[in-house]
Chains A and B, each alone.
Chain A
Amino acid sequence: MKTSTKIIRGLGETHHGTEHHWMIRLTAFALVFLTIGFVIFVMAAAGSDYEQARALVGHPLVAIFLLLVIAVSGYHAYLGAITIPEDYFQNQLYRTLSKILNSFAAIVVCAALFFAVLKVAFGG
């Protein structure tokens, strides 16, 4: 029996398992550093009043950093959560519905986060 690797490579159930595995590792690696920075950010923001918090989030470097945190963790969370219904649901309808819900939730929360940071940063 001979199977051409060329044919089967990357073809799991969803046809992009390899890419999923690689992207979740890539985002996770970046998140180690982003998370450490984020913890420092929360410490700086804790107990600050309105003006201080706006100055902090509005600082270009902090704003760029937060946008990175949002983008990378949003993508990582989206990729990570998608495997959960794949593991627990046999029913194709439930699987599809929970994947749609995951996509919507991730995009909505990221859009809201992006807009909030940009609004503060641009001083609107």
Chain B
Amino acid sequence: MTDVDLKGKRPTSPHVQNFAYKITLSMATSISHRVTGVGAYIGLFFLAYWLIALAIGPEAFETAQTLWGSILGRFVLFCFTWSLMHHMLGGIRHFLWDIPVMIEKPQIEFLYRATILGGFLLTVVIWIIGYAVM
């Protein structure tokens, strides 16, 4: 007889247990790559709005420009910049692993951190340059 308590703590399948999985960087970046991919998809519609407004005429374009230039508009664009940069770096990470290079455990962890940090860094740099040239 194996020593299994059939009445009390019966073993459950991992997905039924609370906190069976620790949230790892790999999970977080996997889902964030997906979310930012969908974000970029939605970005195509934003771009369409701006370009169609330009194609329609001066009034429509002024409205679009005012909207994107507002605090809310800039905030959305800022988040969108981060989303795109995060997704791009995530994609480059995929390329590295496709080759494959940097596939040892510590290097993998390093790449996760580098792409997360890099996304924020690039976003800030882009906006600093953006304000400097405007």
Contact = CB atoms under 8 A, between A and B. Distances in A.
A120 B54 contact: yes
A117 B55 CA distance: 7
Which bracket fits the contact residues of B? Answer: 20 to 34
Interface centre among B37, B48, B94, B130, by most chain A C-beta atoms within 10 angstroms, is: B48
B44 to A, nearest CB: 5
B106 interface: no
Given A46-B134, A50-B62, A77-B40, A35 B34 contact: no
Main secondary structure of the interface of B (DSSP, over half): helix
B44 A53 contact: no
Interface of B: 34, 37-38, 40-41, 44-45, 47-48, 51-52, 54-55, 57-58, 61-62, 65, 68-69, 77, 81, 84, 88, 91-92, 94-95, 98, 126, 129-130, 133-134
24 contacts: A35-B84, A43-B133, A46-B69, A46-B130, A47-B65, A48-B65, A49-B65, A50-B57, A50-B58, A54-B54, A57-B51, A66-B51, A77-B40, A77-B44, A81-B41, A84-B38, A105-B41, A109-B44, A109-B48, A112-B48, A116-B48, A116-B55, A117-B51, A120-B54
